[in-house]
Structure 1
């Protein structure tokens, strides 16, 4: 379980996060939603250790990430998998080499063990025949799946996905959502997805946190989000054509 407690962050005197608290449970696909500039990405960066909050606590199964020893922080980082918005694949490496990269950097596995693990992860995301291609030779949706394979190659306890559907067509977006949900269920991962995609909200939002101007204004799931009474959330939701159609 991941717990965030009263997390605050500011840049150049401007408050970005104003006391955010919440829980993300194992086996749930948890979404953090909100418009641009609401603090979603900053919260994610605090959670994965790219930046440090001014105050508050981020706990990984009871371990206070930013207030622990360097050794404990490294242990927690080894338990994370991250799917970056742009994919962050190495153009000079093959698909298999991209997936294998964390194993090369962080484990003492033999080369055969690393290849076997990378091939298993590629098979799990439906890319068992793409290992020798380069990123320039595959589609945007395939790049996202390579990113997911790399994110799970270390068998993480915690999976973070930053705008996984960015730049994808609607059908491919649904397939990526389904894959993230399947992997979360199959391996009991604590998954946190940053998104503004309403199809993701309605499709896989088992736990949803809505941020607005650095504050958490609502928390729930996709079974009750349409019944919320928060004006800012409804304005955000029904700017989507998908939800406009559902409301009719």
Structure 2
């Protein structure tokens, strides 16, 4: 479980996150939604430790990443998997080498052990036959699946996905959504997805946090979001849902 309490972040005196709190339960797919510039990606970066908020707590099963000592922070980071927007693959590495990368830098396993673990993850996302291809040789949807395989290669407790469907056609986006849900359920992961894709929200949003102007203005589920009596949220839904 991940809890965030009163997260406050500024850039040059401009408030980007204003007191954001919420709870992301283990074994569920939670989503942070909102329009461009509402603070979604900044919140993600605060949660995974890329940015430091001025105030607040980020608790991973009770461990506050913002105040923990370096050993605890390293422990938490080893338990994270992150799917970055666009996949963020290394162009000079093969698919297998990309998936293996976290094992290369964070473990002392033998090359054979690391390759075996990476191949298991590629099989899980249906890409074992692409193991020796380069990123330039595969499609955008395949790159996202490689990114997911890399994100789960360390058997994470927490999975973060930043706009996983960005740039994908609807059918491929559906496949990515289903894959994220299956992995969350299969491994009982705490999954947090940043998205502006309402189709994904309606498919996956077991818990939804809606941000506007750096504030959390609504939270709920995909079962009750359409009944929310909040004009800003309904406007967002009407413009994004296809």
1:148 matched to 2:148: yes
Aligned to 1:237: 237
Q: CA deviation digits over 1:82-111, x for unaligned, max 9?
A: 000021111111000000010000001111
Structure 2 portions without partners, runs of 5+: none
1:15 match: 15
Q: Are positions 1:34 and 2:34 aligned together?
A: yes
CA distance in 2, matches of 1:241, 1:98: 34
TM-score (norm 2): 0.99
Q: 1:30-74: per-residue Cα shift (whole Å, max 9, x none)?
A: 000000000000000000000000001000000010111011111
Aligned twin of 1:185: 185
4+ long deviations beyond 4 Å: none
In structure 2, the residue matched to 1:110 is: 110
Supply the RMSD in Å over aligned alpha carbons.
0.6
TM-score, with structure 1 as normaliser: 0.97
Mapped partners of 1:93, 1:36: distance in 2: 32
Structure 1: stretches of 5+ with no match in the other structure:
243-248
Could you say which residue in structure 2 is the equivalent of 1:120? 120
What is the rounded CA distance, in whole Å, between the counterparts of 1:241 and 1:113 in structure 2? 44
Q: How many residues align?
A: 242
The one-character-per-residue Cα deviations of 1:119-168 (angstroms, maximum 9, x if unpaired) are 00000000010000000000000000000000000000000000000000
